[in-house]
Structure 1
Amino acid sequence: MNGVDPGRLDDQQLIKELETIHRTRHTTLLHGSDGALRAHGDRMAQLEGEYLRRHPRRSVAAARTRAGARERGHASP
């Protein structure tokens, strides 16, 4: 595993790691080697999994659901 075990990060460190990995995802996809992309994806899954484990009842915006997306698709300009 690359990096610190996500379970050992405090909440602030976990959020910082998530922000960084999401910010670098696009560049890794476009320009990283297959191994770098695989490692990036594995690390992102570990961090996101830890966040979801800690926050199973996180707030979900209605607009970010499939139903919300369908509603946006039918909205008048």
Structure 2
Amino acid sequence: MTGVDPSRLDDQQLMKELESVHRTRHDTLLYGSNDALRAHNGRMAALEGEYLRRNPGRRVASGRTRAGARERGRGEPQTPRV
């Protein structure tokens, strides 16, 4: 793994690292080598895992759950397919 072990980062540093890895995700997926993508996946998973470990009771928006998505689907008019 490259970078500082996420468990050694303070909360502000962790958020900065998460923002960076998410910002670069799309370009790495589209244009990075397989090795670069593998490293990016590993770093992102480690950072996200540390965030979740530190924030087990984080607020979850109801619309980001399966039940919330189903509820949204019932309230929206269906567009007929041509």
TM-score bucket (shorter structure): over 0.9
Following TM superposition, by how much is the alpha carbon of 1:10 offset from its aligned partner in structure 2, in angstroms?
A: 0.4
In structure 1, the gaps of 5 or more residues are none
In structure 2, the gaps of 5 or more residues are 78-82
TM-score by length of 1: 0.96
Q: Deviations over 1:28-72 (max 9, x none)?
A: 000000000000000000000000000011000100001111111
Aligned twin of 1:71: 71
Aligned positions, number: 77
TM-score by length of 2: 0.90
For the aligned residue pairs, the C-alpha RMSD in angstroms reads 0.8
- Structure 1 residue runs of 4 or more that deviate by more than 4 Å after TM superposition: none
SS of the residue corresponding to residue 74 of structure 1 reads helix
Following TM superposition, by how much is the alpha carbon of 1:76 offset from its aligned partner in structure 2, in angstroms?
A: 3.2
1:25-44 matches, cutoff 5 A: 25-44=25-44
Structure number with larger C-alpha Rg: 2
